[in-house]
């Protein structure tokens, strides 16, 4: 019989550990959460975007494209009045980082009513001077649009099933596939089988969160925490508070209040 080396044994142990870890990871469910604008100029505000050099113009063009798709602001072809919002892209240049490498530097400001209400500087990327800047420009423009417009962000939660209560995993997989009604049916079935199953309670909390029923969601998370003290359930309770407030602010912004 061939004798295994310590290195081979170590590799096998590591592989088995990874397989066990992957098996116990559970099911990841994707949701979205509402994120209000950090700086709210108001829905349908006329937002003129100005730039000077060619790099400024590339960033201004990408911001304008994203804002047009979003539809939250009105974008005129030329500046109308100081009473409207005026965004300036300035100082964009490639800054030497290391030998043959550069970073993209730019500054974005927005003025309204004669006041500077938004300013943010960016220093992004590490690229050869002749490389394309599309990725860095996309990142900068996305950050600016997210700062000044309400939007949605991906949110992921993970539910761990068990052999003793298979309905939990079936429910989580149904939710992952987008069939939330079926997922709820499985979650309720799991709780009928085992009312104190913390992951079944957690799954119900996730489902109620999806429906924006934050009080009911928090109640399920709290019950799960009482059964099994865990940072996962504590974080879920805290996250509900944040999401409820963000939903409120986002809806106010979208309604133009």
DSSP secondary structure letter of residue 2: P
What local confidence, expressed as pLDDT, does residue 5 receive? 46
Residues 196, 197, 202, 204: is their CA dihedral positive or negative? Answer: negative
What local confidence, expressed as pLDDT, does residue 27 receive? 97
Sorted by where each begins, the domain ranges of the chain are 47-152, 159-252
Q: Is 240 helix (H, G, I), strand (E, B) or coil?
A: helix
What's the Rg (C-alpha) of the chain? 25
Count of positions (residues) in the chain: 257
Predicted confidence pLDDT, tens digits, the chain (257 residues) = 344 444 444 444 444 444 334 345 899 999 999 999 999 999 999 999 999 899 999 999 999 999 999 999 999 876 655 568 999 999 999 898 888 889 999 999 999 888 999 999 999 888 887 788 899 999 999 999 999 999 999 999 999 999 999 999 999 999 999 999 999 999 999 999 999 999 999 999 999 999 999 999 999 999 999 999 999 999 999 999 999 999 999 999 999 87
CA–CA distance, 221 with 128 (Å, rounded to integer): 49
Torsion angle of alpha carbons 17, 18, 24, 29, nearest 10°? 170
CATH architecture of 159-252: Alpha Horseshoe (1.25)
Q: Is 10 helix (H, G, I), strand (E, B) or coil?
A: helix
CA–CA distance, 155 with 31 (Å, rounded to integer): 5
* Fold designation for 47-152: Double Stranded RNA Binding Domain (3.30.160)
What local confidence, expressed as pLDDT, does residue 121 receive? 97
What is the value of pTM for the model shown? 0.82
> Which of 183, 154, 150 shows the shortest CA–CA distance to 169?
183
What local confidence, expressed as pLDDT, does residue 16 receive? 40
Q: Concatenate the DSSP letters of all residues of 168-205 into one string.
A: HHHHHHHHHTT-HHHHHHHHHHHHHH-TT-HHHHHHHH
Give the CA distances from residue 110 to residues 58, 87, 91, 103, 214, in Å, rounded to whole numbers and listed in that order.
17, 4, 14, 23, 35
């Amino acid at each position: 019989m061939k004798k295994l080396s310590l290195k081979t044994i170590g590799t096998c142990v590591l592989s088995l550990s990874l397989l066990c870890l992957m098996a116990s990871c559970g099911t990841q469910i994707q949701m979205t959460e509402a994120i209000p604008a950090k700086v709210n100029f108001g829905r349908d505000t006329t937002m003129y975007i100005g730039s000077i050099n060619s790099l400024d113009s590339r960033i201004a063009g990408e911001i304008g494209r994203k804002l047009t798709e979003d539809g939250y602001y009105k974008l005129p072809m030329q500046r109308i009045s100081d009473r409207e919002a005026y965004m300036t892209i300035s100082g964009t240049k490639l800054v030497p980082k290391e030998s043959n490498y550069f970073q993209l530097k730019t500054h974005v400001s927005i003025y309204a009513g004669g006041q500077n209400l938004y300013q943010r500087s960016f220093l992004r990327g590490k690229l050869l001077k002749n490389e394309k800047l599309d990725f860095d420009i996309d990142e900068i423009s996305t950050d600016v649009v997210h700062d000044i417009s309400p939007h949605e962000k991906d949110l992921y939660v993970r539910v761990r099933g068990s052999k003793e209560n298979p309905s939990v995993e079936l429910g989580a997989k149904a939710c992952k596939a987008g069939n939330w009604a079926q997922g709820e049916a499985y979650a309720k079935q799991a709780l009928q089988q085992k009312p104190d199953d913390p992951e079944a309670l957690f799954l119900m909390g996730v489902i109620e969160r999806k429906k924006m029923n934050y009080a009911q969601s928090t109640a399920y998370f709290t019950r799960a925490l009482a059964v099994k003290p865990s940072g996962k359930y504590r974080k879920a309770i805290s996250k509900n508070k944040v999401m409820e407030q963000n939903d409120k602010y986002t809806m106010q912004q979208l309604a133009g209040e």
